Amino acid sequence: MEFLAAIKLGYVLSGFIVGMAVGLTGVGGGSLMTPILILVFHIAPVAAVGTDLLYAAATKTVGSMMHRAHDTINFKIVGRLALGSVPAAIVTITLLHTLGIASSKANVLVSVVLAVALMITAVALVFRNRLLGYYARHVGKLSARRTMFFTVLTGAILGVLVASTSVGAGALGVTALILLYPEMPAVRLVGSDIAHAVPLTLVAGAGHWLLGNIDFALMGTLLLGSIPGILIGSALAPRVPELFLRRAMALVLAFVAIRLVL
């Protein structure tokens, strides 16, 4: 009984820590929660991903409502991203089902893809400014047609990553949008990315739900910690240097990625 209580407290604490990270940096939801569920609580990778997706959908819905109230969402961008991400997520869920959702093959696949996604996210966090500078020098501003194409393509890539690992909508999504829409205020890009994450995580989460891969009791316990964590992290964010936060988060993600494949 005491052991079960300790586990539940651990879930709440994990939700709080991840919520704090998201509030401080805007990233870290899937990047941290899924590895914690796998490495700390020894939950099967596909089960961790499925539960985290609906958990993310709930938190992103609250975040998108706040951004909508402040008019910091560009729904044209959201639509373009969803045009690529939703079909890609459905295809990915179908592939996981074909492999056998409870099989060791699916768990190994998810672990490897998750590790790769975490390393890419870590690189994007550390070298975001250099990436932006390189892009500005060598690519410059895209035409309207090419911008639309690459936005849909970005959505498709995020759909695959999010559906299989629950990682990608944060650092990777925002970094891609900054490259594609350099003249748009960052707050609108962040708001649009969060709003896009709602239909993506809902569709992907629903797919895992149909496969019987969601632990709703676990999800509710995580939310008990994440909601106050997000509120506190958001309040502290203006007082903490962004560069320090990005580098600290990148180190954590890189460590977790290596740990997942060893």
pLDDT (tens digit per residue) in 5-63? 666 888 999 989 888 877 776 666 777 888 889 888 888 887 888 898 888 888 788 77
Beta strands in 47-97 (DSSP E): none
**Whether 257 contacts 119, CB under 8 Å:** yes
Whether the predicted pLDDT of 84 surpasses 90: yes
- Residue 39's domain comprises 2-261
pLDDT at 122 over 70: yes
End-to-end CA distance of the chain: 33
Express each pLDDT in 163-203 by its tens digit. Answer: 888 877 776 787 788 888 877 887 788 788 888 988 999 99
What total number of domains does the chain contain? 1
Measured in whole angstroms, how far is the alpha carbon of residue 167 from the centre of its chain? 4
With cut-offs at 50, 70 and 90, classify the pLDDT of residue 103: low
Give the pLDDT band of residue 75 (cuts 50, 70, 90).
very high
Give the pLDDT confidence of 240-260 residue by residue, as tens digits: 776 776 677 677 778 777 877
Q: What pLDDT was estimated at residue 5? A: 63
As a whole-number percent, the residues of the chain with pLDDT over 90 amount to: 18
Type of residue at 19: G
Token pair 């060893």 is at which residue?
Answer: 262
Query: Dihedral of CA 246/252/256/259: which sign?
Result: positive
Q: pLDDT at position 222, please? A: 92
The answer to whether 35 touches 167, Cβ cutoff 8 Å, is no
